[in-house]
Structures are given as C-alpha cells and as structure tokens.
Structure 1
Amino acid sequence: MSTAQRTPILELRGIRKRFGAVQALSGVDLEVFPGEVVALVGDNGAGKSTLIKTIAGIFPPDGGEMRFAGQPVALRGPKDASRLGIATVYQDLALCDNLDVVANLFLGREEIDPVSRTMNEEHMEQRALQVLRTLNVNIPVVRAPIAALSGGQRQSVAVARAVMGEAKLVMLDEPTAALGVAQTRQVLELITRLKQQGLGVLVISHNLADVFQVSDRIVVLRLGQLAGVFATSAASREQVVGRITGADVAEPRRAG
C-alpha cells in the first residue's frame, strides 16, 4: 500500500519554533508512516534536535499543527507524548551504568508485588527477556551492569526500554554515533526490526551511509526550514548533500 493510501502515525504541518531572536523552525512539514523509517538530516543548527524535542513534548511549538494517528494533538509535556506512544532515545541514552539491564528497563516503572510490597524481580526479568527476544537483541546476562555492555548493546537496551510502553513511534538521536562497524550493524538491524513490527521510526543521523542503508525516506532540514524530502531508493548521496548545504537548488524528487 502506498503512503497516499495510509494514515501517517505522525503528521506535522507548518511547525514553527522561536527562541528569542532565533527562528529555530519555520513552517516545517513532516510525515512518518507505520512501518517506515524516516531519516532526518541536516547540518549543525539545522533544527533537527529542536524538531525532535517538539515532537517529544519538550518544546511546545509556536505555531502549526501536529496530528498523531490521524488525530490533532497538543502536547503539554513529555508525558503527553509518552501516553500517545511516542518514545525518544536521545544520544546520551540516559542509562544508569551501575544498574543491571532489568533495572534500567524498568527504571521509574518498577513492578511491585502487592503482597510483599517489594519489587517483583522475577516477573520483571521475564518481561525484560521477552522484550529483548522480540527485538532479537542478544544480551546473554540481563543481570549484568550496563557499564559492562558494548555500545551497541547499550543502544539496544535504550531502545528496548523505549518500546516497552507500547510505542507507536520511536525517535532515535544519532543512534550509531561513536560506534564501531559491528556495533553499528547491530543497531541498524534493530531499526529494521522496529520497522518490521509496524512502528514508525524517525532517525537523526549525520552518517549518510547509515541513512541510505536503513531509511525509506530522507527529510532534509536547513536553517530551520524543510529543504527536501527524498525517497531513499530514488536519491543519491550528492543530491542529499546538496540540499543539506544549499548547493543544490533543484527540487528533489518527493516520495510517493
């Protein structure tokens, strides 16, 4: 089914955001469909992080419209975004190195046994194993501290924690930054599995090789404005770089 016949899980129209004298976003449009990976690219200061934080409910927009699953929404904070099914994994991952995998997955939402009034460690561990298995994440010992894991495994734990709350849209901020080749491959495979499970995925990345490998569409921001939308399969690296830098003034081919 083409995107024209489906309802976007996320739809932005004319989103604007200003910080004092700085116009961070100027009339940005964006769509993400279920089972689709959209890469958000642009130079430093293009507005990528501001847009992600607006979608996540951190920055209320100054104007424009946001729809989620076809319904207009107004986010008053990150909890509103989370309740809708928007999960965000930031570059710092926000993991606690001294806690194990299970504790990190349930941090802030620990399950309490109603009789003993202590944490239900056994059930939490079983659910953690189930979620990791669903995502095909290989972490042999879920009671190992986060500090003992590789970069790819840490990113996988952060993603697993994000999708435990019935996420419908997962946003990833530079998920392969500072990772080696094998760890990058692990994370890209995880993104593909999220897509295969029907989630919408929005990825910020400076790595165009990763972008072309994993995305279905590429959205380019430049100076807070939408600079182009490409179907990944029909685009070239030169076209995308040209829109990022402003060197290419030709209209990009839009995804259908």
Structure 2
Amino acid sequence: MGLAVTVGILIDLLSFDPEGADWFRNDMDAVNATLSEVGIESHVEPTEGSIFSAEMFGYSGLHALREVAGLVWQGKAVPQNVMLDGSDTHAGATLFSAILDYYNHRKGEQPPFAHLVFHGDAAGYYVPVDFPLPVAPEVMDEEFAHLWPVGSVQGLQAELNTLAQILQVPDEMTSGAVPLDDWIADWPPEGDAPIYLFQPVATYSLLVLRDASAYSLKTNAAIGFE
C-alpha cells in the first residue's frame, strides 16, 4: 500500500466529495478541541487555494527516515555501507519508545525528532501551529483514534532541516526533481558522494515532508497522511 502526503485536503474534498469534507471538518474539530485543552491555539483550515500532494516511498520510506533520526539521536553515523529501506527499524523504534516515555512522564530532556517519529504511519495530521511536542487527548474516542498524536508543521520542519544538514541535502532540492529510481539503481554511489546518495529512500521521504511543510506554512493548510 502507498502513503500519500497532502496539503489542502479540505479544498480538494469541497470540490469532489462533500461528505468527505464533513468527515475532515469533524477531524479538525477534534484536533482543535484537544489543542484547546492544553492551551494551544486552534487551526483554521483554508477552503480555497491550491493543493500539494505527493506519494511517499510507501510506509517503508517513512520508516527509513525515522531510522536515520534514531541513529542520529544515538550519536551514530548514517551508514554508507547499507541502504536503509525501512526493514531495519531498531533505532527508530528505540527513539519512539524514548519519546513516548517522555510524553507520559515529562521527566528529563525531551528526545529530538518527536514530530517526525511520534506520529501515525498511515493517517493523522500536522497543523501549522507551533508547539513543542505532539498532542493527544488524555481520553481517546475510538472514532478519532486515527488522529493521534497530532504534530506541529513548524516542529516537523525544524527536525527535517536538522536531518537534511546531516545528510548533506541541498536546500534547493525538491522531491519532484529527484531521480529516485536512478539513485537506487546506481547504488552505491562512487567516490566522495554526499551522504544523501547513500540513503536515497530516507532522503526522498525527507524531501516529500520538507516540501509539504513549506507548502503548509505558505498556505496555512494542514498536512495529512492518507
């Protein structure tokens, strides 16, 4: 199965799926109620404008990027002798456990990359509101279980920028211009290639999320996983 990342979901649904638009508004009402509970400003989703949408490298691409984040958190180098493809999730899962423990107890130092790692794989949202840690209600209604935790676009963007520096990803590079199939087919790269070429799957996932984050902050529309 694929994983689509979309910015401007309500705009799209209002044109083609009014019932889906109502479903999305219910999601946002639940998100805003939880944000309000913890003193965070509400998000108002735009109803007009253009849409950004891109396909991730399936769920495995997201797991590959989270594995990079977990390795960085552990102080380990991003590997250049193996391509992370989402099958090895040990470091990412360990980071997730550390973030969950901090979320539940709020003791010690907050682990990094919480917005990237502490989020659903196949569903959920990032809203363009700045808050330090992903948010979930104390009591979860089963109807809205797919929403949690909700991440901050600003927080996600900052984490992606950190990883982009480590991977040596150029600022101007975008997901739409990346020859991912060629990168994978030609792996491993020759010579003193930048680190991102050794991790094409994670890099492409980073670029999709970075592009989505920039578009979200430009248009004030939430990022949705579908």
| Higher Cα Rg, which structure | 1
Looking at secondary structure, tell me which structure has more strand per residue: 1
Instruction: With the length of structure 1 as denominator, give the TM-score of the two structures.
Output: 0.25
Normalised to the residue count of structure 2, the TM-score between the two structures is 0.27
